[in-house]
Amino acid sequence: MITEIKKEIKKVVVGQDELIDSMLIAILSNGHILLEGVPGIAKTTAVNSMAQCFGLDFKRIQFTPDLLPSDITGNEILDLKENIFKIKHGPIFTNLLLADEINRAGAKVQSALLEAMAEKQVTIGEDTFKLDTPFMVLATSNPLDQEGTYNLPEASLDRFMLKVNVNYNSFDEEFEIIQRVAKKGFETINAVLNKQELESLKQKVKDIHIDDELTKYILKIVFATREPENYELEEIKKYIDFGVSPRGSIDLYKACKASAFLNGKEFVTPSDIAKTAYSVLRHRIILNYNATIDEISADDIIKKILEIIPAP
């Protein structure tokens, strides 16, 4: 089933294997993704193609500085004929929502999105509406556009299960992209499964076995970002202001199970944890000015932790 899904997505997306795997991990774990990368590298295409594979509704919102919360959630509208207020639902009422350039929107808009991401519900006026399942937000952030942007606060970042850095395609991959677009065009994507079958896959992910020692290994990795001196990692302490939250522990636990499932395994191995640790933790480690001076990134911190803490 997973092979068929990837095959359909790859009809229109060339390369970007990490992006495709991350989207599958998120949707199988009821998580959300933050994608960071330059424009034109198939972020929107990948999301749309996955929606078609699963037979899900897909909507896109272009975030701008003048966007209002009601532009996302919907609003109460006065029906002049009946002289009553009616609710008009916004684009957030969908299964897969692409929040394009989320860092261009203000705090009020981001907070409206947070309720939907965390609570799976939307409040319009005095009424609260449950969102359809599945519901996943894929937000993009453009690292090149600094003017007119707002940094996502830590609370917003923590709502995202994964942060994926999407890079340029290789030379050969881009050659194939040109050949497809210029000569053949993109093929039609077929629906591989429906919502009920997707829920069945989610249950199979939950049934993936993870040993207690591996769960403790996950916690050691997380606690090393908070108390590095207790794990022989004094050298990274000066770079970290805040470590990973408890939500990060939960997300890493769920993500490594989904990763094992994607690779056809019935149990989690240390390699699954190491593979998913970067995308789950990189946006949750808050670095300080010392890290900027020494050109240390969150990925460097995670790499050092994985090197020092022994896997069971």
Cβ neighbours for 172, distance < 8 A, ≥ 6 positions apart? none
CB 256 within 8 A of CB 248: no
Global confidence as pTM: 0.86
Question: Among residues 275, 60, 13, 287, which one has the least CA distance to residue 154?
Answer: 287
The encoded tokens of residue 254 equal 């769920």
Which pLDDT score, from 0 to 100, does residue 276 have? 93
Tokens of 33: 């993704």
Q: Tell me the Cα Rg of the chain.
A: 21
What are the angstrom distances between the C-alpha of 271 and each of 19, 28, 265, 305, 312? 18, 19, 12, 14, 11
Which pLDDT score is estimated for 147?
Answer: 58
The pLDDT assigned to 274 comes to 92
Greatest CA separation for the chain? 71
Task: Show the domains of the chain with their CATH numbers.
Answer: 2-184 (3.40.50.300), 208-308 (1.10.8.80)
Among 26, 18, 71, CA closest to 43: 18
The pLDDT value recorded for residue 224 is: 93
CA atoms of 75 and 78, how far apart (whole Å): 10
- pLDDT recorded at residue 256: 94
Q: Which pLDDT does position 308 carry in this prediction?
A: 92
The closest alpha carbon to 109, from 72, 69, 74, belongs to 69
Residues of the chain with pLDDT under 50: none
